[in-house]
Structure 1
Amino acid sequence: MGEIRKPKTEAGRNAPSMGKDDLQRAFHDMVLIRRFEERAGQLYGMGLIGGFCHLYIGQEAVVVGVQMELKHGDKIITSYRDHGQMLAAGMDPRGVMAELTGREGGYSRGKGGSMHMFSTEKHFYGGHGIVGAQVSLGIGLAFANKYRGTDEVSVTYFGEGASNQGQVYESFNLAALHKLPCVFVIENNQYGMGTSVERASASKELWRNGEPWGIPGRKVDGMDVEAVRDAAREAIAHCRQGKGPFLLEMSTYRYRGHSMSDPAKYRPRTEVDEMRKHHDPIDRVRHELLALGVAEDELKSIEDKVKAVVVDAADFAQGSPEPDPSELWTDVLVEG
């Protein structure tokens, strides 16, 4: 197995593997994540979001492409760069933004913040602040699916910086041993905090990291939502058929720093500009849609609707009250 790339047309442009409706859905979902994250960055700068805040800007194609192949009941778990997964899973932007700002209307009633939101309704089992810890939880979700006899899968996201953590390899072993329906997704955005993956990993082909346990893998252009969707389809089908786990390495890029407090001086500005100008996932879909005859006005209409949703989410968050002090004593203990 190797890298997923789309076939070329005679003119040299990638041949679309999605129809117009799917491309428009992908465009909407990616623009929603981008605009939401931009607004979150603004609120952080205004002091309305405290603590850490890790933005997903640039990586939108990964989660949107994978989500397009999931069905109701499939489980999702990820790290602290999690707002994109929440929105792609259908969580309410109002509730997500309210949680970011520490308000009562948030998904964790204002007590979790950026890194600790959950939605059992949408089968989203959290962003997790401990590097790599969510991977072992992800195979637990996959074990539950298998134990219950469903064909549901668990999608477990983690970054290239977490890919060499010990619990990741322990999870590979157990997932392969028990043939658990888990899709491991490495979001390789090239930098773990401030260190390039080239300097931090002896393994240069992360998609092959599961080979000692017989886990098949693919490297995918994570800036191309169509390539992501195609790879996710293969991996998810593999899991649903009871063949065990699958590993996808998404080669992607974050435009902002590791978190809002990171000025990202460890990489040249020209590198970021190159990715924005020539590899942006939203621009790629925009060009595909225009080539299929979609009018600019239609795309602007989608963007205007997204803007209204994001403005509404920010207004709701700022208007929602802070949690009552009594909330300090709730959700601490569950008695069986």
Structure 2
Amino acid sequence: MQATTEQYLWMYESMLVSRHLEETIEAIYMEGKKPVFNMANGPIPGEMHLSNGQEPCAVGVCAHLRPTDVVTATHRPHHIAIAKGVDLKRMVAEIFGKKTGLSGGRGGHMHLFDPAVNFSCSGIIAEGMGPAVGAALSRRMQNKEGVAVAFLGEGAANQGAFHESLNLAAVWNLPVVFVIEDNAWGISVAKNTATAVPRNDVRAAAYDIPGVFVPDNDPTAVFEAAGEAVERARAGGGPTLIEIQTYRLAGHFMGDGEDYRPAGEKEALLAKDPIPRFRDRLLADGVLTTDQDGRITARAQALVDEAVTFARESDYPAPEEALEAVFV
């Protein structure tokens, strides 16, 4: 499955929007947290998980999705939310804990919900897999079109929810695509010390569904693999498990010293940053021109800057609003 010029350019711009957002958030997050780091301080308190380097996973999959398709994501969700079309201003306002946020500032960056494009995420490991299976089943029962995609990390493949969800999706032949973003580290635990198999795509065989491995964090290869899986799901062919070899260019969370990484690993990963690699390929193939690149980059930066300004200028919710939208 070959991407069109429009799809390639959309993928590239979405990757730039995500990266500019992450770099902007990184700087703002550290406001008030120096010289002694305290995650409770500053305009964005709490944990912050950046997805720098993992952008190919999001754009390669979401390029095939429609607003009616369901996506569930992880505690590292920004790149996926952007690729799925989540309202950027309201998303950033939610990260800031503002009243204009997606959930009125209640959820923060690990709990982004946008029903307009059927996107959600959770800070609980493997939490999105069951809801994705449920969403696919609900569409089946209501005779509605649509597929569900569950993004998860490689550590989530060792959770019970992973196996339960794959089993049910296979038994019921549901239109679900499970996408593992394998960045090699579960917080500070290396994949090869915690997982019995070298690649999680081989686990698909236990449930008699296709398992696909995409190496080298390649947006084009992700696009091709995801295109086949989504098309198969739409046609009634059932679920697929995809594992993408990707790279986490930042720590597990902001403030992570990353002392667990072997010497030279971080530098080697930064040298393989997927955005300049993708840009160079698009330029070489004539899909992108230097002038276009400048315009796309400026537009991506402007979108993020506008969203950040909106979030900063928005009001915080009143204290009594904490009691609203609560089940009692």
**Distance (whole Å) between structure 1 residues aligned to residue 216 and residue 118 of structure 2:** 23
Shift of 1:269: 5.3
**Distance (whole Å) between structure 2 residues aligned to residue 331 and residue 77 of structure 1:** 22
Paired AA for residue 89 in structure 2: R
State yes or no: 1:115 paired with 2:115. no
Q: TM (normalized to structure 1)?
A: 0.91
Bigger mean CA offset, 209-218 vs 60-69: 209-218
In structure 2, stretches of 5+ residues that fail to align are 32-41
The 5 A counterparts of 1:12-23 are: 17-23=2-8
Which residue pairs with 1:299 in the alignment?
Answer: 293
Paired AA for residue 35 in structure 1: H
SS at 1:250's partner residue? Answer: strand
The answer as to whether partners of 1:235 and 1:246 remain within 8 angstroms in 2 is yes
State yes or no: 1:281 paired with 2:266. no
Which residue pairs with 2:229 in the alignment?
Answer: 235
Paired AA for residue 227 in structure 2: R
Which residue pairs with 2:39 in the alignment?
Answer: none
The 5 A counterparts of 1:49-128 are: 49-124=44-119, 126-128=120-122
Which residue pairs with 1:251 in the alignment?
Answer: 245
Shift of 1:242: 1.4
The 5 A counterparts of 1:62-211 are: 62-124=57-119, 126-211=120-205
Q: TM (normalized to structure 2)?
A: 0.93
Number of corresponding residues: 317
Bigger mean CA offset, 24-33 vs 213-222: 213-222
The answer as to whether partners of 1:62 and 1:222 remain within 8 angstroms in 2 is no
SS at 1:109's partner residue? Answer: coil
The answer as to whether partners of 1:20 and 1:289 remain within 8 angstroms in 2 is no
Shift of 1:292: 3.0
Shift of 1:286: 0.8
Which residue pairs with 1:13 in the alignment?
Answer: none
Aligned CA distance change for structure 1 residues 154 and 53 (closer, same or farther; 3 Å): same
CA RMSD of aligned residues (A): 1.5
Bigger mean CA offset, 217-226 vs 113-122: 217-226
**Distance (whole Å) between structure 2 residues aligned to residue 129 and residue 163 of structure 1:** 15
**Distance (whole Å) between structure 1 residues aligned to residue 161 and residue 124 of structure 2:** 11
**Distance (whole Å) between structure 2 residues aligned to residue 288 and residue 160 of structure 1:** 28
Which of 7, 13, 16 is the matching residue for 1:31? Answer: 16
Paired AA for residue 258 in structure 1: H
**Distance (whole Å) between structure 2 residues aligned to residue 29 and residue 222 of structure 1:** 19
